[in-house]
Amino acid sequence: MTDNSALDSLVGEWLTVPEVADRLGIDAGKVRRLVHEGRLAVVRRGRSSVVSVPADFLVPEHLENPANSTLNKPEPEPDEYGVPAPRWAVLASLYGTFTLLRDAGFADDEAIEWLFTPDTTLGETPISAMRTGRKTAVRRIAMTLL
């Protein structure tokens, strides 16, 4: 198990299950189902052991799969101030990457640590690379962990 303070220094922003539900526009039960299905990884943090998800696992919906330009959807209509409110989604490439990491014996906290630790081969963190559509490069590295 990874030290939560080490994870906090790597991850930065965390969301609770209700915050993830609110951002995705679904109920908390559906967020727990995403965790159960392996589409999200979580850790318990703080004195009260609150289940938390790295905020970087969620992206504006039109960037859900950044490598596939056909999924780029137009931004929603702007609000009364002219600012479009993004719809959010779970980064699509996380699911397969979590599967690889779990097959390599990684627990959720270890998978999160790996995703947020800079990698010299990528020149950035695996999560940053995935958010810009470089899932194949990330998974190639993850496969070496098997």
Tell whether 122 is covered by a domain: yes
Tell whether 30 is covered by a domain: yes
Tell whether 71 is covered by a domain: no
Tell whether 59 is covered by a domain: yes
Tell whether 38 is covered by a domain: yes
- The pairs formed by 8-12 with CB atoms below 8 angstroms and a separation of 24 or more are 8/45, 10/112, 10/113, 10/116, 10/117, 11/54, 11/56, 11/112, 11/116, 12/54, 12/55, 12/56
Q: What total of structural domains would you count in the chain?
A: 1
Taking only the tens place, the pLDDT of each residue in 61-79 is 877 776 554 444 455 667 7
Tell whether 72 is covered by a domain: no
Task: Of 72-76, 79-83, 105-109, give the lowest mean pLDDT range.
Answer: 72-76
pTM for the model: 0.85
Taking only the tens place, the pLDDT of each residue in 112-136 is 999 999 999 999 999 999 999 999 9
